[in-house]
Amino acid sequence: MTESRLVGRLGCYAALTDAEKSFLGRIEVQEKPLGNGQTVVRRGSNAHRVFVLKEGWAIIRSEPVRGRSSILWIHLPGEVIGLGDMAPSAAPHTIHMQTDGVVCPFSRDSLGELLRDLPRLSALLVGLASLDQIAMRDHCAALGLMTAEDRLVRFLLQLRLRLALADSVSGDRFHLPFNQAEIGEAVGMTSVYVNKLLRKLSEQGLIRVEKPYMRLLDRAGLEAKIGFVDRFSDLDQSWFPNPRAA
Helix (H, G, I), strand (E, B) or coil at 198: helix
* Residue whose C-alpha is closest to residue 37's, from 95, 91, 102: 95
CB 95 within 8 A of CB 27: no
Contact criterion met (CB below 8 Å) for 142 and 31: no
Backbone phi, psi, residue 185, to 5°: -65, -35
204 contributes a contact to DNA by CB under 7 A: no
14-73 positions binding DNA, by CB under 7 A: 68
**206 is an interface residue for DNA by CB under 7 A:** no
Residues that bind a second copy (CB under 8 A): 47-48, 60, 62-63, 65-66, 68-70, 72-73, 83-90, 92-93, 107-109, 111-113, 115-116, 119-120, 122-123, 126-134, 136-141, 143-146, 188, 227, 231, 234-236, 238-242, 244
Taking CB under 7 A as the binding criterion, the range among 8-16, 17-25, 56-64, 192-200 that sits at the site for DNA is: 192-200
Longest alpha-carbon distance in the chain: 59
State the minimum distance, in angstroms, from the CB of residue 141 to a second copy: 4
- Min dist CB 225 to a second copy, Å, is 12
Q: Which does 108 bind (CB under 5 to 8 A by kind): DNA, a second copy, none?
A: a second copy
Q: How far apart are CA 19 and CA 117, in angstroms?
A: 9
DSSP state of 212: T
What is the C-alpha separation between 55 and 35, in angstroms, rounded? 11
Site for DNA in 101-160 (CB under 7 A): 147-149
| Contacts with DNA, residue ranges (CB under 7 A) | 68, 147-149, 179-181, 188-193, 195-196, 198-199, 209, 211
